[in-house]
Chains A and B, each alone.
Chain A
Amino acid sequence: MTNPNNATNTSVHSAEFISGHALSIPTLRVLKDDGTLYDGATAPELDKATALKMYDTMVFTRVLDERMLAAQRQGRISFYMQCLGEEAAIIGSAGALDDEDMIMAQYREQGALRYRGFTLEQFMNQLFSNEKDLGKGRQMPVHYGSKALHYMTVSSPLGTQIPQASGYAYAQKLRGKDNLTLCYFGEGAASEGDFHAGLNMAAVHKAPVLFFCRNNGYAISTPANEQFLGDGIACRGVGYGIKAIRVDGADILAVYQATKMAREQALAEKEPILIESMAYRLGAHSSSDDPSGYRSKEEEELWRKNDPISRFRLWLINQGWLDDASDTEQTTALRQEILDALKVAEKVAKPGIEHMISDVYAEPTELLQQQLKELKAHIKKYPDAYPVTAGRID
């Protein structure tokens, strides 16, 4: 072996340290706030139907988020997380994928799932943990998943999906598929060991995975400048020997373009690519959080002006693809549709008691069956204490 260390082998003869900020990675920006393009920028190839689908999905996400946060405040659901401010990052990237590419999300990416065709009813069933929820009412609200839509069920422990995405993509490669995996995570989650493990594994084993980091400035209350000292997250890709790009996450054209190009390269070269999207988490971390304890209203106001939806909307109007009036009408109709679906889902029964033990294993063990039998007998004895299941036990 001529280069056992697998590293550059040129020499210098006086000590020189490379600065921790030697890389300063620029941000790709295509679309200006006023809906026109930056000088020198070209819009990605985007047909009208796709553009409008992306726009509708952004609006859907925004309206769903507003409505469901309100539902949480009214005590109708236990928990909620908004995508507010990051709609372009999510939908621009999801829009650049093939429908059979795998998506592994963190939890704030409902827009990507909607883009794939998750129905309003499916959203509601998950949010209300009712018996129609694909996840059988087992996870907190917003932990969606759908095999049919190639969207891995969300898991709360942060960062765990990152090395899994590397493995999934590697398997896609071995199976000869023309599809890859896109993995979303926050800049906070990128501090987890799993991030480092996942990138290195993908790099070494040449897995076609797009690591999509949503750098939105905060991990709950912790600002990015207390999270890491490097140049964002993109620079870490370089450390692992993989290509990286930084994009304006409120600019859907930039996100779409970067993701589309990354997808082509990752599939052609069978390699991972890191995309860092810069946006701002405009809402609270979740319905359990109150940001007034850690950031100012002024800061929020400043970022509110950077709205990804209005920017894209102006561009669509400039293109002659959207008109103002029909757009507002649609939004009003959507609000009503969401409210109607909510009212239906909240009345659907909770999963039956048999789902206490299903899916722990492919087949419930004898011990589990015994435990269920005893539980049923107990519930029958005290029906008033277990109103959700008592009336439905054979």
Chain B
Amino acid sequence: MAKMNMLQAINNALDLAMEKDDGVVCFGEDVGHFGGVFRATSKLQEKYGKARCFNTPLTEQGIAGFANGMAAQGMKPVAEIQFADYIFPAFDQIVNESAKFRYRSGDEFNVGGLVFRTPYGGGIAGGHYHSQSPEAYFAHTPGLKVVVPRDPYQAKGLLLASINSPDPVIFFEPKRLYRASVGEVPEEYYELPIGKAEVVQEGTDLTLLAWGAQMEIVQKAADMAEKDGISCEIIDLRSILPWDVETVAQSVLKTGRLVINHEAPLTGGFAGEVAATIQQRCFLHLESPIERVCGLDVPYPLALEKEYIADHLKTYEAIVRSINF
């Protein structure tokens, strides 16, 4: 075990993957010599050479298309999109190409092994072009896998599983936690399962569901609720697509209540999908309406960021509402 922050854990995962398999190649804007603007690919060019870790021209569309081509050839490209807010020029390559490569060719061709890594999320005074959480757009695309880690241990294991996945993965990294989240991480290779949620705290009165950087926030809300004698079961969804219906449903069957929290705006956010599925699965066991604590339906603000965030206080209020219903 070693103490690592999330960036170090990601860097370590990439290092191990490149060491293990010479088909693994890392690239993106400023990813080469400099090691990426957040330094997630630090030292990889030095270690594995310019052919396997390099800067690309400034074109997300190009990066994604290039990655599709490499993966179709059988390599394992790990492409960095500098900010999730800048993934949209690549939307066509990801949504129409990566996601449908296998399907449209009858599995003559596929892009398994392809991973898009991209920092997402707010809380860093970044305004609407450095704070977005676009997971729901991609969750609406069959053929993609969408993964979000909450801490260094999760980031390493989930990233290694993503690189080893037979399907293309978008790996959203909570950038607010890059340096803030520190934990014990095994130095050796390990994978964590994609498509499996994790119960991080058991409880009896209410289920709290979140992912990524919001996990800290819901934990804080659960701690507040505990002082009122409310016992929360906390689940980290970890994979948005495919998502682990079973784990969430089992928990809600037990607690009878569900509060979902995400950073992205409410309308069309992934909480809506979870709520619809869970009310269908758990209808007769629900004690109160499913609550969603999300961003407002506005672009991510700058000066009013604090007010906008789906923070612990708003989550706590939702817990209390749910209990008192």
Closest to A223 in B: B55
**Chain A nearest CB, measured from B70 CB (Å):** 18
Q: Is the beta-carbon distance between B304 and A353 smaller than 8 angstroms?
A: yes
B317 at the interface (CB under 8 A from A): yes
Residues from chain A with a CB closer than 8 A to the CB of B35 are: 293
Q: Which residue of the partner chain, among A157, A193, A389, contacts B129 with CB atoms under 8 Å?
A: A157
B59 at the interface (CB under 8 A from A): yes
Q: Is the beta-carbon distance between A157 and B85 smaller than 8 angstroms?
A: yes
Q: Is the beta-carbon distance between B85 and A351 smaller than 8 angstroms?
A: no
Q: Which residue of the partner chain, among B54, B55, B303, B317, contacts A350 with CB atoms under 8 Å?
A: B303
Interface string of A134-169 (1 = CB under 8 A from B): 001111100100000000000111100000000000
Knowing A222-B55, A356-B301, say if A138 contacts B307 (CB, 8 Å). Answer: no
Residues from chain A with a CB closer than 8 A to the CB of B200 are: none
A189 at the interface (CB under 8 A from B): yes
Knowing A138-B302, A221-B30, A378-B313, say if A388 contacts B130 (CB, 8 Å). Answer: no
B180 at the interface (CB under 8 A from A): no
Knowing A138-B128, A140-B130, say if A388 contacts B304 (CB, 8 Å). Answer: yes
**Chain A nearest CB, measured from B87 CB (Å):** 10
Residues from chain A with a CB closer than 8 A to the CB of B59 are: 191-193
Residues from chain A with a CB closer than 8 A to the CB of B267 are: 367
Complex formed: what's the CA distance from A363 to B36 in Å? 41
Complex formed: what's the CA distance from A129 to B128 in Å? 13
Knowing A139-B127, A156-B85, A193-B59, say if A220 contacts B37 (CB, 8 Å). Answer: yes
Residues from chain B with a CB closer than 8 A to the CB of A219 are: 29-30, 58
B22 at the interface (CB under 8 A from A): no
Residues from chain A with a CB closer than 8 A to the CB of B85 are: 156-157
**Chain A nearest CB, measured from B242 CB (Å):** 30
Task: Please report the number of residue pairs spanning A and B whose Cβ atoms sit closer than 8 angstroms.
Answer: 135
Complex formed: what's the CA distance from A129 to B314 in Å? 25
Q: Is the beta-carbon distance between B34 and A294 smaller than 8 angstroms?
A: yes
Q: Is the interface of A mostly helix, strand, loop or mixed?
A: loop
Knowing A157-B88, A222-B55, say if A193 contacts B298 (CB, 8 Å). Answer: no
Q: Is the beta-carbon distance between B302 and A158 smaller than 8 angstroms?
A: no
Q: Is the beta-carbon distance between A356 and B298 smaller than 8 angstroms?
A: yes
Q: Is the beta-carbon distance between A192 and B58 smaller than 8 angstroms?
A: yes
Q: Is the beta-carbon distance between B62 and A356 smaller than 8 angstroms?
A: no
Closest to B126 in A: A140
Closest to B124 in A: A78
**Chain B nearest CB, measured from A274 CB (Å):** 18
**Chain A nearest CB, measured from B269 CB (Å):** 13
A310 at the interface (CB under 8 A from B): no
Q: Is the beta-carbon distance between B33 and A356 smaller than 8 angstroms?
A: no
A303 at the interface (CB under 8 A from B): no
- Interface size of A as a range: 35 or more
Q: Is the beta-carbon distance between B127 and A222 smaller than 8 angstroms?
A: no
Residues from chain B with a CB closer than 8 A to the CB of A368 are: 296-298
**Chain B nearest CB, measured from A384 CB (Å):** 10
A375 at the interface (CB under 8 A from B): yes
Complex formed: what's the CA distance from A189 to B29 in Å? 11
Residues from chain B with a CB closer than 8 A to the CB of A222 are: 29-30, 32, 34, 55, 57-58
Closest to A228 in B: B57
Q: Is the beta-carbon distance between B130 and A389 smaller than 8 angstroms?
A: no
Q: Is the beta-carbon distance between A356 and B307 smaller than 8 angstroms?
A: yes
Q: Is the beta-carbon distance between B314 and A138 smaller than 8 angstroms?
A: no
Within A157-214, the residues touching B (CB, 8 Å) are 157-158, 188-189, 191-194
Which of B57, B128, B129 has the most chain A CB within a 10 Å cutoff? B57
Complex formed: what's the CA distance from A293 to B41 in Å? 13
Residues from chain B with a CB closer than 8 A to the CB of A240 are: none
Interface string of A360-394 (1 = CB under 8 A from B): 10000101100110010011011001101100000
B299 at the interface (CB under 8 A from A): yes
Complex formed: what's the CA distance from A388 to B32 in Å? 41
User: Can you list 30 A-B contacts (CB < 8 A)?
Assistant: A136-B303, A137-B302, A140-B125, A156-B127, A156-B129, A157-B88, A158-B86, A191-B58, A193-B59, A219-B30, A221-B37, A222-B29, A222-B32, A226-B32, A226-B55, A228-B57, A351-B303, A351-B304, A353-B304, A355-B304, A356-B296, A360-B298, A367-B267, A368-B297, A368-B298, A372-B296, A375-B296, A381-B317, A382-B313, A385-B306
The 6 A-B residue pairs with the shortest CB-CB distance, nearest first, are A137-B303, A156-B129, A221-B34, A191-B57, A188-B58, A191-B58
11 further A-B pairs in the complex, CB-CB below 8 A; given A137-B302, A221-B37, A385-B311: A79-B125, A137-B301, A140-B302, A157-B85, A157-B86, A158-B86, A191-B59, A221-B33, A356-B308, A368-B298, A385-B306
Residues of B with Cβ closer than 8 Å to A? 29-30, 32-35, 37, 54-55, 57-62, 85-86, 88-89, 125-130, 266-267, 296-299, 301-304, 306-308, 311, 313-314, 317
